[in-house]
Structure 1
Amino acid sequence: MKIKHLYKYLFAALLVLHLSSCNDNTDAEQKFDQTPTERLNAQKGELNDLLLSSEFGWKAVYFTDNTVLGGYTHLFKFAKDGTVQMASDFDSDTKTYKSEYEIQLGSTVSVVFTTKNRIHLLSDSNSYPIPSLEAEGYLGDFQFLYYGQENGDIVFKTNRNNRELRFVKATAEDWTDLSENLIMEQNVIGGEDRPLFRLLETNDGTAIHKFDFSFTAATRFAESNSIETGYSVSYNMGVGYTPTGIVVSPAVEVGGQKLTNFTYSDTDGSFTATGTNGVSAVIKYTDKPLALTDDYKLLLPGQPLGWFGFFIDDYTVEAPTNSPLFYAEIEKINAALPEGQSISTIEIYSNSRIGTFIYYSFVRRAPLQHFVTVEEDEAGKKMVLKHKSWNGNTTVATPAILASFDKYLMDPEGIYVKKENFRLVYSEPVYTFTSASSPFRMTTWKLN
Structure 2
Amino acid sequence: MKKIKINTCQLIVALCLFVLSSCDENNDPELLFEDTPTVRIEKSIAELKTALQGSENGWKTTYFTDDSELGGFTFLFDFISDSEVIMDSDFGTPDVSATSLYDITLGSTVKLTFTTKNVIHQLSDSNNFPDDDLRGQGYKGSFEFLYFKTEGDDILFKSNRDRDIIIRFSKASKEDWTSLTSLNKTMLETNIPKNPLKSVFRNITLESGGKTTLYGFSFNEARRFATVTAISKDAVKTDLSFGIAPKPTGFVVSPAIEIENVVLEEFIYNLDDDEFVAEVDGVKITLSYADELSFLLPFYDFGNESRGNNNMRLYRTNLPNSDLSSENFINFYKEWEAHFTATQSGRTVTRVYLYNLETVDNSFVQVRYLSSGRSFSLNFKFTYTVTENATGNKIYKLTETVPVNTTRRAGILPLLDFLFRDSGFYVQKMVDFNANQNTLGIIPVDDTTMLAQWYDF
| TM surpasses 0.5 | yes
SS at match of 1:177: helix
Find the counterpart in structure 2 of residue 188 from structure 1: 192
Find the counterpart in structure 2 of residue 59 from structure 1: 60
Change (3 A) 1:85 1:270: same
Percent of residue pairs bearing the same amino acid type: 31
User: Residue 437 of structure 1: which of 430, 437, 446 is its match?
Assistant: 446
Conserved in 1, the CA contact under 8 Å of 2:94 and 2:119?
Answer: no
Distance in 1, Cα, partners of 2:349 & 2:99: 43
Conserved in 1, the CA contact under 8 Å of 2:298 and 2:429?
Answer: no
SS at match of 2:139: coil
What does the per-residue CA deviation read over 1:405-436, in whole Å, with 9 as the maximum and x for residues that have no partner?
Answer: 8865665423322235x789999766443332
Distance in 2, Cα, partners of 1:337 & 1:94: 48
SS at match of 1:213: strand
Conserved in 1, the CA contact under 8 Å of 2:216 and 2:229?
Answer: yes
Change (3 A) 1:293 1:41: same
SS at match of 2:62: strand
Deviation at 1:117, TM superposition (A): 1.8
Q: Normalised by the size of structure 2, how large is the TM-score? A: 0.73
SS at match of 2:272: coil
Is 2:240 aligned against 1:231? no
Change (3 A) 1:155 1:201: same
Change (3 A) 1:243 1:351: same
Q: Normalised by the size of structure 1, how large is the TM-score? A: 0.74
Change (3 A) 1:394 1:345: closer
Distance in 1, Cα, partners of 2:244 & 2:368: 35
What does the per-residue CA deviation read over 1:364-423, in whole Å, with 9 as the maximum and x for residues that have no partner?
Answer: x9999785646233224132456799xx995424758x95x8865665423322235x78
Find the counterpart in structure 2 of residue 416 from structure 1: 426
* Cα root mean square deviation, aligned: 4.3
Distance in 2, Cα, partners of 1:38 & 1:323: 64
Find the counterpart in structure 1 of residue 107 from structure 2: 106
Deviation at 1:232, TM superposition (A): 4.5
SS at match of 1:87: strand
User: Residue 382 of structure 1: which of 389, 395, 409 is its match?
Assistant: 395
Find the counterpart in structure 1 of residue 32 from structure 2: 29
| Matches for 1:15-414 after TM superposition, within 5 Å | 29-30=32-33, 34-35=36-37, 38-90=39-91, 97-162=98-163, 163-178=165-180, 179-185=182-188, 186-233=190-237, 234-276=239-281, 278-293=282-297, 295-299=299-303, 304-306=308-310, 309=315, 316-317=322-323, 323-326=326-329, 328=331, 350-351=355-356, 373=382, 375-380=384-389, 381-385=394-398, 395-397=407-409, 411-414=421-424
Larger Rg belongs to = 2
Conserved in 1, the CA contact under 8 Å of 2:92 and 2:119?
Answer: no
> For this pair of structures, how many residues does the alignment match?
406
Structure 2 portions without partners, runs of 5+: 1-28, 342-347
Change (3 A) 1:120 1:294: closer
Conserved in 1, the CA contact under 8 Å of 2:300 and 2:440?
Answer: no
Find the counterpart in structure 2 of residue 8 from structure 1: none
SS at match of 1:173: helix
Conserved in 2, the CA contact under 8 Å of 1:87 and 1:118?
Answer: yes
Change (3 A) 1:263 1:352: closer
Distance in 2, Cα, partners of 1:223 & 1:211: 10
Distance in 1, Cα, partners of 2:443 & 2:433: 18
Distance in 1, Cα, partners of 2:375 & 2:254: 44
